[in-house]
Structures are given as C-alpha cells and as structure tokens.
Structure 1
Amino acid sequence: MTATTLTGSPVPTRAPRARAGAVNRLTWLRRWISPVLVITLWQLLSSAGVIDERSIAAPLDIARTAGDLVADGVLQSATLTSLQRVGIGFGLGAVLGLDLAVLAGLSRFGEDAIDPPMQMLRTLPHFGLIPLFIIWFGIGETPKIALITMGVVFPLYLNTLGGIRNIDRKTVEAADAMGLTWPQRVRHVILPGALPQTLTGLRQSLGIAWLSLIVAETISASEGLGYLINNAREFQQTDVIVVGLVVYSILGLATDAIVRLLERRALTWRA
C-alpha cells in the first residue's frame, strides 16, 4: 500500500526499492545454480570413475593443486609475469590505436594516410605473424608484447574512428555557432561523443589481449601462466592446466569488470 498525506497526495514508500533489491539478489543466486550443478556433477562422475583422471582431474583435486601452487608462491609469480606482459602490450596498443584513430578521424589527410594500411593490416590473422616476430625480435619478451599490442590496436582503432565519424553533425554545428575553437570542439564535443564506442573497443581489446597472451606465452616462455600450462602438459598434469586456465579467465573477467565500471562512471550522462 502507498501512504498518503493529509491532502491526499501519495507518499513514496521503500517497498518498490526493496522488491527490486530482492529480485536482483534472486537473479544473482539463480546465475550460480548451473555452474554449481556442473561442478558437482563433474566431481560425482570423477569419483565414480566415469571420468578418467588422466583426461581431466576432479574439481577437488584441482582445488588442492591450486592451494599447493599458492602456498609455494608459484601461481602468484606466474600470474604477476602474465599481468606485466598484458599491461605493457595493452598500454602500447591502446596508445597507438587511439592516436591513429584520432588522427584519421579529425583530418581528411590523416584518414587518407592512415586508414588504408590499417584496413589492410587488420585483415591479417595476427597469430600468423608469430614466425616473423620470432625472426625479427628473437624469443624473448619482445615478440610476446608485440603480439599482444597487435591484438589491441585494431579493435580500439576501429571503434574510436567509428565513434568520431558517427558524431551528430548538428552537435558540431552547434559548437561552431557557440564560437568554440578547434581544440575546444575536440575536447568538449568530438572526444566525449566518441567515448561510448571507444569504451566498447576497450572491452574488445582487453579480451583479445588475454587471448593473445595465451598464444604469446607459448613462444619459448620460461615463466608466466602459459609456461606453467605448457610445462604441465608435458607431464600430463591436467589439474595444473585447469588451474592456469581458471586464472586466465578470472583475470579476463576482472579487467572487463573494471572497464564496465569505468563505462558506468564515464557515461552517467547517457542515463
């Protein structure tokens, strides 16, 4: 029921908000039902011998292995190494992709000079460049970071360029009518207008960065999550392999959540 004042006008109550909170909690719980059921079934089948432990370890064994790797400090060291590679590669790719998109989007000459080679290069499967990267850069850290950088550049470039091109022309004309200078139009109109698509490209680039890292760490790596997984493969340690893959997925989800939080904060004006 809704409370009323002496004049008969309704007074808002907290019931709708409380119901919305209860629905959100129920939805969150429902989303956990299927993963828990899958893991439980997996454990039961492994315990009954239906799933061969040589094919894939049981969830409890994987959990114990993860605890041992954490206790030995192996998992933390490998994770930190992989994070450093992604951080450097993503930073370089983001700076390059954004700068090229802004130059191509704000200048006709820049578009003619930058966009054709970018459109050609983006069609290349960047994993196919691994042999060339090894020839050019050797088998150290450089080819790994170069591969991640290549994976980041193109989604960010394409989305940012698309955002700049799709800005409403009337908005630009209004900025002209207000007498804004070119730098002011870029700062207050063009870049904020392109921000939603730029953030979309950022999320896509982060996903590709983690995918590129998994492949990059197979290039004669001596540390990192990829090295941990490859070393476990040699000894058929499926529990270690699964632990490494789970950490990859957690890191990917965590970085995506950070970008989504940034998106909500930066685009509050859209709501």
Structure 2
Amino acid sequence: MKRVRQFFSRYRSGLQRAGAVLLALAVWQGLAMGVGQKLLVPSPLSVVERLGGIWQEADFWGTVWFTFRKIVAGFLLGLGFGLGLGALAGRFPLFEILFRPWATMIKSIPVASFIIICLIWMSSSRLSIFISFLMVLPIVYTNVLQSIRSADRQLLEAVSIFRLSWPKRALYLWLPQLKPYLLSACTVSLGISWKAGIAAEIIGIPAGSIGRMFYDAKVYFNTVDLFAWTVIVVVISVLFEKGFLALLKGVFGRLETL
C-alpha cells in the first residue's frame, strides 16, 4: 500500500494529465454515440484508424513540411522583428510613440480581414508566413518593451556608474530581465501562429498545404479527415512549442553561465 501511495505521489501530475485526456476522449465518444451520425461527429476510434493510414499516403509528409516551414518561418520573423522593434521602442521613446498606432492596428484587426487583404498583395503560398509573422510581432514587441520598462532603475544607475560595456550590460542586466517576458511571449505566440497560419491556408487554399486538406475535407463532407488533420496540427504545434521553448531555455541557461 505504501508503494502504491509513493507511485501516485511521484507520478501524480502525469496521471492527472492522462486522466484528463481519457475524460476528454470519453466525452467525445459519448457525444459521437449520442449524435449517431459519423458525418457530424466521428468517433475517436474512426479518427485513430484514419490517422493510422493517412501518414502512409504519398503526399502526407510533403504537405506537413510545406505548412510547417511556412508557419515556423513566419514565427521566427515575428520573433526577430519583435525583439528588434521592442528594443528600439524601449531605448527611444519617440520610436515607441510612432510605432504605437501600427502595433494597435495589428492587434485589433481580425485575422480574417488581414488574410483577405493580404491575398490581394501576395500569392497564397506565402500567405501563412506573413499572417503568422503579423500575429507574433505585436506579442513579442509588447513583452520586450514591458521587460525594458520594468527594469530596476537603481540597478540601471549602478550599471552607468560602473560604466559596464554594452556586451556586459546585455549579458548581466538585460538578458535576465528579458527571459521571463520572452518565454511568456513565445508560449502565447507559438499557438497563435499555428492557428493563424492554418486559417490563412484554409482561406488562401495553397496547393500542397494542410489548409488545403482542411478545405477539401469540408467540400467533400469528410469529417473524419477533418478531425484527423486537426489532431495532426495539434500534435505538430505542441511538439514544436515544447522543442522551441526547451531550446530557448537552454540558450538562456548557457548565457547565464558565462
């Protein structure tokens, strides 16, 4: 009995997550049985069976790679520009004032409006890059700016008094200050970039994309495929988020040991 208690105590968090997943699957199965229409709500088993065969199709990996590299490219562009523009706004108040209307506009305009407008300017194959970039940019920018504004003024004065070089200021002052804000920004923006990127592909319908698979599933009333591709997007998004955040934490950890 003691060993059982120790087991549950040690793996409590994992067991709770597994229980939550099982409960969600049970609710899904109950809903599918209650509706009784595979066209409306397919059962978890039918979706799992489809997942078992979908990855063996000839164009599966090409489709996943097409969407993955587009959305990741948009995320990285948004991250880079957000860091740069946030640093400029924190350093020069006039820049923050001038950029404020653009940041507000990007945050306020609905994603669908951006997608439709951008379809006039660029090809559908590049649309998910730009939309992911637009969704990530204001989140990273705001967090970087906030991290600079919340810096300890007394510590800043001490750094100026001792005349530390800019590399040392960045390493010992700004990086520790930026770390929690940047990790928070990436945690939020990673999921949003995938949602917005897939939405852009569904509207733009570029050939060979996951968004095209969603569109075809809707046109042909293939609800099982719709659910299967949704599961695939969720898995890819979560894996990329976990991997990128682990990499980012590792980079911060290495820099902190210098």
TM-score if structure 2 supplies the norm length? 0.85
Structure 2 spans left out of the alignment, 5+ residues: none
Paired position in structure 1 for 2:25: 39
Q: CA deviation at 1:27?
A: 2.8
Structure having the larger proportion of residues in helix: 2
* Aligned CA distance change for structure 1 residues 148 and 263 (closer, same or farther; 3 Å): closer
Query: Conserved in 2, the CA contact under 8 Å of 1:172 and 1:185?
Result: no
Q: What does 1:256-271 align with in structure 2 at a 5 Å threshold? A: 256-262=241-247, 264-265=249-250, 266=252
Higher-Rg structure is 1
Give, in whole Å, the separation in 1 of the partners of 2:105 and 2:223: 40
> Which of residues 202, 214, 218 is equivalent to 2:198?
214
Give the superposition deviation at 1:63: 1.4
Q: Secondary structure at the match of 2:144?
A: helix
Which residue, 53, 67, 83 being the options, matches 2:68?
83
Counterparts of 1:129-168 in structure 2 under 5 Å?
129-137=114-122, 139-168=123-152
Output the CA distance in 1 between the equivalents of 2:115 and 2:193.
15
Q: CA RMSD in A?
A: 2.7
CA separation in 2, counterparts of 1:120 and 1:237? 37
Q: TM-score, normalised by structure 1?
A: 0.81
Instruction: Report the Cα distance in structure 1 between the residues aligned to 2:101 and 2:219, rounded to whole angstroms.
Output: 44
Q: How far 1:158 moved relative to its partner?
A: 0.4
Distance 1:59 1:230 in 2: 21
Matched letter for residue 235 of structure 1: Y
The aligned counterpart of 1:98 is: 83
**Mapping 1:1-271, distance limit 5 Å:** 19=6, 22-40=8-26, 42-43=28-29, 46=32, 50-137=35-122, 139-218=123-202, 219-262=204-247, 264-265=249-250, 266=252
Give the distance between the partners of 1:92 and 1:256, measured in 2 at CA: 16
Identity of aligned residues (%): 24
Task: Report the alpha carbon displacement of residue 267 of structure 1 after superposing the two structures with TM.
Answer: 6.3
4+ residue runs of structure 1 moved beyond 6 angstroms? none
Q: Specify whether residues 186 and 45 from structure 1 end up closer, same or farther in structure 2 by C-alpha distance, changes over 3 A only.
A: closer
Per-residue deviation, 1:104: 0.8
Mapped partners of 2:61, 2:92: distance in 1: 46
Shift of 1:192: 2.8
Q: d(CA) in 2 for partners of 1:96 and 1:41?
A: 42
Do the aligned partners of 2:144 and 2:181 also contact (CA within 8 Å) in 1?
yes
- The structure with higher relative contact order (CA 8 Å, sep 6+) is 2
User: Residues 29 and 177 from structure 1, CA distance in 2 versus in 1: closer, same or farther, beyond 3 angstroms?
Assistant: same
Say how many residue pairs are matched. Answer: 250
CA contact (8 A) 1:42 1:59 kept: yes
